[in-house]
Amino acid sequence: MKVLCITQKRMNEALPCMKIAAKKLGETIEIYGEEYDNPEYIQLTEYFVMVEKNGPEGQPIPSFINKYSDTEIFISFYEPFSRKVMDILQNAKIIGSIRGGY
């Protein structure tokens, strides 16, 4: 099973934790991690308001997503999942977004 974990470079402290958590899914898991730079990054409070107002379609899709089209589990840190991302990740069985809290 292939797991893709993504995060923005400005929040890269989350990526190692995401990979550790993904390893708990089993021995045969392939874990890939990608960091990307979103030039439109703003403070998280403003980011959440923007996503609430514009929905996930208003967010840029990282270009590397296409090379992971066979991913079965996709986990992001603060990133919404647009219909475009769902169309690329057609094999995804689980999609999760880590946003904070318990």
CB atoms within 10 A of CB 35: 17
With a cut of 60, say whether residue 81 has pLDDT above it: yes
Burial of 56 (0-12, 13-18, 19+ CB in 10 A): middle
User: What is the per-residue pLDDT for 96?
Assistant: 81
With a cut of 60, say whether residue 101 has pLDDT above it: no
99 — pLDDT class (breaks 50, 70, 90): low
User: What is the per-residue pLDDT for 38?
Assistant: 67
With a cut of 70, say whether residue 46 has pLDDT above it: yes
Enter the pTM of the model. Answer: 0.70
Q: Do 55 and 80 form a contact (C-beta atoms < 8 A)?
A: yes
User: What is the per-residue pLDDT for 90?
Assistant: 92
Q: Domains of the chain by range and CATH?
A: 2-98 (3.40.50)
> Position of tokens 């079965």?
72
55 — pLDDT class (breaks 50, 70, 90): confident
